[in-house]
Amino acid sequence: MLQSQNGRNKTEKASSVESKKYLSTTYERVDRPPNFVDMTDNKAEKRPLRIILIGYMGAGKTTVGKALSKELGIPFYDLDWYIESRMYKTVKQIFDEKGEDGFRKVEQAMLHEVAEFENVIISCGGGTPCFFDNMDYMNAQGETVYLKAVPEVLHGHLVMGKSVRPLLLNKTPEEVDVFIREQLKLREPFYTKAKYTLDVSLMDNYEKIQLSVEKLRHLLNIEN
Ligand code: S3P
């Protein structure tokens, strides 16, 4: 199951960029914010931009994805939400009806739909990179970023979170802790195949979320 790390992985560097002030906490989409980056105007590189966020449950993929979408003025897709709207079922219902194997097949099929869209930000489920050739496929399709957080932070977000996560149902907080640590060991070899890694362990308030977004722009070389 283990795979070697791709040599292109870059680690985020401290950025001196101050967090932006205009981002509202509601993340409603605007068509063209003042700092709209027209990705279609990039003559040097003809490839459409796809920023694909991966990482464990509770790392903040959706939070960062929405905030970056707002900044860049390009659409954001959460793969779980996409699956639910395409299948007219919740992720939990799909797990209940088809089991995890069935869910993974649906997830792969839906990944192949969203990752064809151009100039988008996509956040994947925590397990997406770890099944089939999904990680290689995502690396071929776009700029993959591993949002990395330590188990304590993931645990804090997951026990407080309201989302229904089938893999965590009926587990006590102690069992969730053990589960996260065990799963991270198995999943990290896949996550670290991402082209970039951004440490988001300290992303516990609005300013820090904004700082993570700025660091991500810097990593991806998308400047203001
Ligand atoms: C899963 C993560 C979930 C969702 C499903 C399975 C996983 O997404 O896809 O419950 O295997 O880690 P989030 O990472 O968005 O919670």
pLDDT of residue 137: 98
> Which atom of ligand 1 approaches the CA of 92 most closely?
10
Q: How large is the average pLDDT for residues 118-126?
A: 98
Q: What is the CA radius of gyration of the chain?
A: 17
Q: What are 38-52's pLDDT values in tens digits?
A: 555 554 556 899 999
Does pLDDT of 89 surpass 70?
Answer: yes
Name which residue sits closest to atom 11 of ligand 1, judged by CA: 127
Distance 48 CA to ligand 1 centre (A): 26
Dump pLDDT digits (tens) for 152-194.
999 999 988 878 899 999 999 999 999 999 999 999 999 999 9
Mutational pocket test of ligand 1: of 110, 124, 165, the residue with most ligand atoms within 8 Å of the beta carbon: 165
Among 6-10, 17-21, 72-76, name the one with the lowest average pLDDT.
17-21
Using the atom order of ligand 1, give the atom closest to the CA of residue 163: 16
Q: How far is the CA of 44 from the centre of ligand 1 (A)?
A: 36
Give the residue-averaged pLDDT of 200-210. 85
- Rounded distance from Cα 46 to ligand 1 centre (Å): 32
What does the longest C-alpha to C-alpha distance in the chain come to? 53
For residue 71, is pLDDT > 50?
yes
Distance CA(222)–CA(216), nearest Å, equals 8
The CA–CA distances, whole Å, from 209 to 158, 159, 177, 205, 216 equal: 17, 20, 24, 6, 11
The atom number, within ligand 1, closest to the CA of 167 reads 10
Ligand 1 pocket (Cβ < 6 Å) reads 57, 80, 91, 125-127, 165-167
Rounded to the nearest integer, the mean pLDDT of the chain is 84
Amino acid occupying residue 124: C
How far apart CA 120 and CA 5 sit, in angstroms, is 25
